[in-house]
Structure 1
Amino acid sequence: MDEVLNIIKNDPWLAPYQDAITGRHQHAIDKEKELAGKKTLSDFATGHLYFGLHHTDKGWTFREWAPNATAIYLIGDFNDWTESPKFKLKKVKNSGNWEINLPEKAMKHGDLYKLKVYWEGGCGERIPAWATRVVQDDNTKIFSAQVWNPSKPYKFKKKVFTPNVSPLMIYECHIGMAQDAEKVGTYNEFRENILPRVVKDGYNCIQIMAIQEHPYYGSFGYHVSSFFAPSSRFGTPDELKQLIDTAHQMGLAVIMDIVHSHAVKNEVEGLGNFAGDPCQYFYQGDRREHPAWDSLCFDYGKNEVLHFLLSNCKYWLEEFHFDGFRFDGVTSMLYYSHGLGEAFCSYEDYFNGHQDDNAICYLTLANKLIHQVNPRAITIAEEVSGMPGLAAPFDDGGYGFDYRMAMNIPDYWIKIIKERKDEDWKPSSMFWEVTNRRKDEKTISYCESHDQALVGDKTIIFRLIDADMYWHFRKGDENGVAERGIALHKMIRLLTASTINGGYLNFMGNEFGHPEWIDFPREGNGWSYKYARRQWHLVDDPSLCYQYLGDFDSAMVHLIESVKNIQKTDVIEVWHNDGDQVLAYRRKDLVFVFNFNPTRSFTDYGFLVPRGEYHVVLNTDNKAFGGFGFSDDSIPHFTCADPLYAKDKKEWLKLYIPARSAVVLKRQK
């Protein structure tokens, strides 16, 4: 490959690594040809239509990939869980596949079943790797696959959905903990109770966590056992389909937090030792186990594993109409070290031979496949190292993600809240942090996600206010700590959301300053659901300050969405003064002004902006949002001429900016 790829043209600092970059690109091209031949990746990624249990015109067909097995039986309700000869699978010649064909009456919808697998020196019960429905017995807590063939399967009302996500405003959510009650919430409850909130707040996309079946609820869905089965804790597959269909009818895109970075170690429920081969799906030796996550690492060098994972992507897109994926743990996939203990200080760290080229190839092919299946699909990489090209187009030499998470931003907010006095917050540093990104890669900016809300960490609101939230968060009873927290919570969000070059993400409840942490039921808390829920009654209570924050977030999201493709417009710095702690920048016709100074308000503070008339369209100090209302936002602001800047068509915009507040003004046409 002699032609220089665009990601190198766009960033000359990558030139020394041209061989590595073009080598990875060619690897993906070669692997695609090996897998698909003259067909497409989409034609190749159809394992879910072949493996697993399928209802046919003649009855039932079941297939499994288990090259190490010596015998396999289907056992279940239909044969009293015995190894009946009628339910013994046959090995397909010259392959590691097993199959069986059964008459219609052999099983029925709702029957529970498993595999009894024999191998040299042992045997065990297993849940089929391609099972699309897995349930847990309430009493024994044992998981089993379930025949899912309802007489009236759910039919999507909205056949084709085109996401309107310019910009992409994501509401990250978890079905089980989305209700106010101390219990596991359901797909139906989420559809009925939460979707209307998301639409009202202005978000245009939901990102759902913990969809793939996982044995331990407290894993937050990240220790997956059955990759093709939507979690039965929340309801049936049809109820999930109805949720997605309803979201589409309401204009919401739906993306899934997909976990292909690792798998649960469980052998009976998962793939850990599927047919007496601990490495059927996973790497050999020391690379098999993830040292920090107590989980297993897929062998992305095996074509059968690529078939499994790529088919998994296509399955969720076609069967459930998901609009894309947020890929979890991408950093862990990219490096032999999983990124642990590495600083990633220079480009050399991305091309020093310590990268898993098999995983890089898989991610590249996954993105290509997903966009083949649905050209409108959305893919996001959760990646912390800053690997160049991750969210660049494949044809440019990138890995093909549409977006990458801007994971530096929440880390930055935590750092300054923890380590710096308010007087030492520097607007120049803040502005650099929220705009520091590769020009050819779109990012998802966020102040905090579910990570910052977990036990052992703190949300922004709790870092700012802490215990005073319990005693001084009633309207009219705020103390200085609460007032500071309310003000900074809004300013941090506005600065982060208004500087996006791709999209913005918020975890459910954080928009209104949800108190306390997330702690799933576990032995250490007496299996309590007290902290594994969202207390919507707090934001619904007009006497509490949570409503201020929720109303501001909604106003902010609607404002950002009112400028079509705002994410594509330049973020132009107008002014910063770290001594005054004042920052101003503009995007298109909007001017954003921040005064982070905790004590000083400024009168007639001037900025050079395009001449014209400006109206206030959002003010964090508005009394409706828990501010003091020191400014009259109904007054229009006119620029003042200055001969020195006449040729630039810029004039002085002079404002009163109260301490610890931010205002957005719009230039009138």
Structure 2
Amino acid sequence: MSYIEDVTASPDWAAIAGAAHHDPHSVLGAHPDTDSLGRTTTTIRARRPLAESVEAVFDDGSRLALAHVAHGIWEGRHDGPPVPYKIATVYAGGDELVAADPYRHLSALGEIDLHLIGEGRHERLWDVLGARPLSLDGDDGVDFAVWAPNAKAVRVVGDFNSWNGEGHAMRSMGSSGVWELFVPDVPIGARYKYEILAADGRWLLKADPMAQAAEVPPATASVVTQGSYTWGDGAWLTRRAATHAVAQPMSVYEVHLGSWRGGLGYREAAEPLIEHVRATGFTHVEFMPLAEHPFGGSWGYQVTGYYAPTSRYGSPDDLRYLIDRLHQAGIGVIMDWVPGHFPKDEFALARFDGQALYEHPDPRRGEHQDWGTLIFDYGRNEVRNFLVANALYWMSEFHVDGLRVDAVASMLYLDYSRNDGEWEPNIHGGRENLEAIRFLQEVNATAYKAHKGIVMIAEESTAFPGVTAPTNRAGLGFGFKWNMGWMNDSLVYMKRDPIHRSHHEGEITFSFVYGFGENYLLPISHDEVVHGKGSLISRMPGDHAHKLANVRAFLGYMWGHPGKKLLFMGQEFGQIGEWSVDRDLDWWLLDQPAHRQLQELVGAINGVYRTQPPLWERDNDSSSFTRLGGPTWDPSVVAFERRDSHGGRLVSITNFAGATHTGFRLALPVEGVWQEVLNTDAAEFGGSGAGNYGVVTAHPETDDGAAIAKLTLPGLSTIWLRYQPEPHVPTASRG
């Protein structure tokens, strides 16, 4: 029996012809053999249904006619080993079509890559999975590779094959669960998806989980892309690698790019954003999620394309340009990252190959009931690898300086937002999600090792121990944790009428008790200005002037408080309306002097903050902080000292009452001259102009030697006093 007769009789022959076989390369393409005399020959097979004639065309111009065998499969044999060729096809009434043959190529994936994928240790996963433009065996094209271990067959479809994948069936790469096919002549910009044959016989149409670009929503196809951007931020990265963020100033401006200024893409936003951030003095910009997401109303927190910057604002290289320009301007970039859950959209990750794959198969661990989303299976090697590599991808390919990890609390606890009976304990009978904990430890340790000077920031709202402790001490390994307790308590306090605040002093000072247990970041984020909460200024009591004064006092207090800072866009100039993703900020408010002066105050606060190491060098060191009080005591006055490691001292005093205190006697840490470096009630910031004429002198007045200063504390204001051990020449009042 001939080989042709043998394969014709095989039940797999029809499956290969129908593009539903796990290994089409076993039949299609070029296959070396030996004849009865021991000479090398090569059999070429191609799938060309309905063709009238098919030939193999070699580089020297010679041709080999192929004969139809069965099911649209054509075959021919030539002497010698395999050599490059193309397939020439003639259909009824048509011209000859000459095309490269994807099945003549060996796999572009190496055994080491497949081994690392299986082990969950491939730190550059994006280099081997997804759609990679490359040259292979003399052909230019795209190598497609996707992880779908439960699939019976996988095909790639797209613009290049009229969305008919029967001619582009992929091969299974064995136990790795990866499917791969090199398709010649696919151009950059081509749209594509995968057709996946599930175990139950359904064909599923899925976007590429590893796609590095996607169509503009609501379209959902993946897009072949190849970066060509030349970076210019080498000096920034060198400086970053030599610093430790915990001991540096950090004030973060949180931005939703689409509603910051509507209509601006990545490139168009660069210069106005830089100008604004420079004017307001922030050290970093934090972008709400920029990974691809189908529904803009999710603000980016329901991700379908973890490796694809959203195409709403431009190409991946356009985003690189924005980040590069920010770095060249001395501004760091943090991105929101969402490894805690993903949406159920049928075109994306949900039941990717017909079964639970990226999500945990047990709905008690694999589904967020409140959010209507799915939870990753953190215990599966390939899923954990997908996420760890994704964090590294944003740092490697887009030079981001850190990730703010969303909804960490939801990842840590198996009973998060679940009632009794709706969750399953861990192997020790506890409520902690041990697999998620190990994942967070791995991603943090790996990111810090691979990219010096970056920051990993946890949005974590519980008392889970060791969020910012090193992983080698059983911590989660984050660099910072959002101080949600401070945020909630202080906003409740600030909402109170000043006349009642003296009875609730604990709300504004309780954070001093626990504020050094982690490396904290103080957030006034987007979550605090939506869902009926109003903006920061709208929460303040009193008329408009008093609201502004409250905001000024609060920001001065916040920037003096231990911990790094984050402020959501619009709050720096007193955005009145609640934030909406569907409209721009109320920039017209800057035409009003009081709002323009508030923004100028933010610039001044950040300017002083950045030059005063006591305010940031030892944020996590309780010995650098002392609460001050007496001999005059007023529960509406909150005063404390911050110290750096070189003898620098700065005192922050906030009068949360509505009335001005004159002659207020306060014991300062040392006698001598203290310079007033900030007064939120200064006339230049829209205040009354009351103050201390630039300097305060503390004198011993009691037997115990306490250094007492007599201060003017304007109502609803914060003042900062910097100790000056050197001789000082008094300056004129700013009043």
TM range (shorter): 0.7 to 0.9
Q: Secondary structure at the match of 2:378?
A: coil
Looking at structure 1, the residues matched to 156 and 453 of structure 2 have their Cα atoms a distance apart, in angstroms, of 40
> Which residue type is aligned with residue 147 of structure 2?
W
The answer to whether the Cα contact below 8 Å between 2:216 and 2:310 also exists between their aligned partners in 1 is no
Q: Secondary structure at the match of 1:57?
A: strand
Partner of residue 241, structure 1: 320
Say which of 347, 361, 377 aligns to 2:438. 361
The answer to whether the Cα contact below 8 Å between 2:193 and 2:205 also exists between their aligned partners in 1 is yes
CA distance change for structure 1 residues 36 and 209 in 2, over 3 Å: closer, same or farther? Answer: same
Post-superposition offset of 1:519: 2.4
Q: Which has the higher contact order (CA 8 A, sep 6+)?
A: 1
1:504 aligned to 2:568?
no
Partner of residue 301, structure 1: 379
Structure 2 matches for 1:218-367, cutoff 5 A?
218-268=297-347, 270-338=348-416, 353-367=430-444
Looking at structure 2, the residues matched to 601 and 655 of structure 1 have their Cα atoms a distance apart, in angstroms, of 8
The answer to whether the Cα contact below 8 Å between 1:207 and 1:257 also exists between their aligned partners in 2 is yes
Structure 2 matches for 1:191-210, cutoff 5 A?
191-210=270-289
Q: Deviations over 1:40-92 (max 9, x none)?
A: x996322211111112231321111101111111111111111232x110111
> Which residue type is aligned with residue 686 of structure 2?
G
RMSD across aligned C-alpha pairs, in angstroms? 2.6
CA distance change for structure 1 residues 434 and 190 in 2, over 3 Å: closer, same or farther? Answer: farther
Post-superposition offset of 1:161: 4.3
The answer to whether the Cα contact below 8 Å between 1:605 and 1:657 also exists between their aligned partners in 2 is no
The number of residue pairs the alignment matches comes to 583
The answer to whether the Cα contact below 8 Å between 2:493 and 2:507 also exists between their aligned partners in 1 is no
1:514 aligned to 2:593?
no
Post-superposition offset of 1:424: 2.9
Q: Deviations over 1:123-149 (max 9, x none)?
A: 121101111101136xxx321111113
The answer to whether the Cα contact below 8 Å between 2:302 and 2:343 also exists between their aligned partners in 1 is yes
Q: Secondary structure at the match of 1:266?
A: coil
Q: Secondary structure at the match of 2:385?
A: helix
Looking at structure 1, the residues matched to 272 and 336 of structure 2 have their Cα atoms a distance apart, in angstroms, of 21
Partner of residue 136, structure 1: 216
1:95 aligned to 2:150?
no
Partner of residue 203, structure 2: 123
Looking at structure 2, the residues matched to 597 and 516 of structure 1 have their Cα atoms a distance apart, in angstroms, of 26
Post-superposition offset of 1:358: 0.3
Report the more deviating stretch, 568-577 or 319-328.
568-577
The answer to whether the Cα contact below 8 Å between 1:42 and 1:373 also exists between their aligned partners in 2 is no
Partner of residue 111, structure 1: 190
Partner of residue 451, structure 1: 527
Q: Unaligned regions of 5+ residues in structure 2, if any?
A: 1-112, 421-425, 619-623, 644-648, 726-735
Partner of residue 493, structure 1: 555
Post-superposition offset of 1:316: 0.9
Post-superposition offset of 1:578: 6.6
Post-superposition offset of 1:340: 6.0
Partner of residue 5, structure 2: none
Post-superposition offset of 1:280: 4.2
Post-superposition offset of 1:339: 5.2
Q: Secondary structure at the match of 1:293?
A: coil
Looking at structure 2, the residues matched to 514 and 599 of structure 1 have their Cα atoms a distance apart, in angstroms, of 26
The answer to whether the Cα contact below 8 Å between 2:498 and 2:657 also exists between their aligned partners in 1 is no
Structure 2 matches for 1:411-490, cutoff 5 A?
411-418=488-495, 422-425=499-502, 428-437=505-514, 439-446=516-523, 448-464=524-540, 481-490=543-552
Looking at structure 2, the residues matched to 581 and 555 of structure 1 have their Cα atoms a distance apart, in angstroms, of 24
Post-superposition offset of 1:430: 4.6
> Which residue type is aligned with residue 368 of structure 1?
A
Post-superposition offset of 1:218: 0.5
Post-superposition offset of 1:440: 4.7
Post-superposition offset of 1:297: 0.4
Say which of 655, 662, 669 aligns to 1:602. 662
Looking at structure 1, the residues matched to 309 and 116 of structure 2 have their Cα atoms a distance apart, in angstroms, of 33
1:575 aligned to 2:629?
yes
1:668 aligned to 2:724?
yes
Post-superposition offset of 1:171: 1.1
CA distance change for structure 1 residues 333 and 109 in 2, over 3 Å: closer, same or farther? Answer: same
Q: Secondary structure at the match of 1:640?
A: strand
Looking at structure 2, the residues matched to 604 and 386 of structure 1 have their Cα atoms a distance apart, in angstroms, of 38
Q: Secondary structure at the match of 1:44?
A: coil
Q: Deviations over 1:462-492 (max 9, x none)?
A: 1126xxxxxxxxxxxxxx6112111111111
1:656 aligned to 2:712?
yes
Q: Secondary structure at the match of 1:584?
A: strand
Report the more deviating stretch, 575-584 or 331-340.
575-584
Post-superposition offset of 1:197: 1.0
Looking at structure 2, the residues matched to 36 and 226 of structure 1 have their Cα atoms a distance apart, in angstroms, of 22
CA distance change for structure 1 residues 642 and 544 in 2, over 3 Å: closer, same or farther? Answer: closer
Q: Secondary structure at the match of 1:134?
A: coil
CA distance change for structure 1 residues 149 and 660 in 2, over 3 Å: closer, same or farther? Answer: closer
Q: Secondary structure at the match of 2:669?
A: strand
> Which residue type is aligned with residue 681 of structure 2?
D
The answer to whether the Cα contact below 8 Å between 1:172 and 1:208 also exists between their aligned partners in 2 is yes
Say which of 362, 375, 379 aligns to 2:456. 379
Partner of residue 163, structure 2: 81
Partner of residue 547, structure 1: 596
CA distance change for structure 1 residues 415 and 623 in 2, over 3 Å: closer, same or farther? Answer: same
Partner of residue 21, structure 1: none
Post-superposition offset of 1:283: 3.7
Post-superposition offset of 1:454: 1.5
Q: Deviations over 1:210-242 (max 9, x none)?
A: 211100000011000111000100111001001
Q: Secondary structure at the match of 2:404?
A: strand
Post-superposition offset of 1:551: 1.1
Report the more deviating stretch, 359-368 or 431-440.
431-440
Q: Secondary structure at the match of 1:410?
A: helix
CA distance change for structure 1 residues 614 and 600 in 2, over 3 Å: closer, same or farther? Answer: closer
Partner of residue 556, structure 1: 605
The answer to whether the Cα contact below 8 Å between 2:660 and 2:712 also exists between their aligned partners in 1 is no
The answer to whether the Cα contact below 8 Å between 1:261 and 1:332 also exists between their aligned partners in 2 is yes
Looking at structure 1, the residues matched to 521 and 678 of structure 2 have their Cα atoms a distance apart, in angstroms, of 23
Q: Secondary structure at the match of 2:667?
A: strand
CA distance change for structure 1 residues 506 and 283 in 2, over 3 Å: closer, same or farther? Answer: farther
Looking at structure 2, the residues matched to 581 and 136 of structure 1 have their Cα atoms a distance apart, in angstroms, of 52
Looking at structure 2, the residues matched to 301 and 49 of structure 1 have their Cα atoms a distance apart, in angstroms, of 23
> Which residue type is aligned with residue 586 of structure 2?
Q
The answer to whether the Cα contact below 8 Å between 1:283 and 1:297 also exists between their aligned partners in 2 is no
- Percent identical pairs in the alignment equals 28
Partner of residue 146, structure 2: 64
The answer to whether the Cα contact below 8 Å between 2:130 and 2:145 also exists between their aligned partners in 1 is yes
Q: Unaligned regions of 5+ residues in structure 1, if any?
A: 1-34, 343-348, 466-479, 521-528
Say which of 582, 586, 599 aligns to 1:535. 586
Q: Secondary structure at the match of 1:485?
A: helix
Looking at structure 1, the residues matched to 687 and 345 of structure 2 have their Cα atoms a distance apart, in angstroms, of 52
Question: Which of the two has greater strand per residue?
Answer: 2
Looking at structure 2, the residues matched to 489 and 462 of structure 1 have their Cα atoms a distance apart, in angstroms, of 10
CA distance change for structure 1 residues 575 and 186 in 2, over 3 Å: closer, same or farther? Answer: same
Post-superposition offset of 1:121: 2.6
CA distance change for structure 1 residues 43 and 358 in 2, over 3 Å: closer, same or farther? Answer: closer
CA distance change for structure 1 residues 396 and 227 in 2, over 3 Å: closer, same or farther? Answer: same
CA distance change for structure 1 residues 36 and 91 in 2, over 3 Å: closer, same or farther? Answer: closer
Partner of residue 45, structure 1: 123
Looking at structure 2, the residues matched to 178 and 109 of structure 1 have their Cα atoms a distance apart, in angstroms, of 31
The answer to whether the Cα contact below 8 Å between 2:572 and 2:599 also exists between their aligned partners in 1 is yes
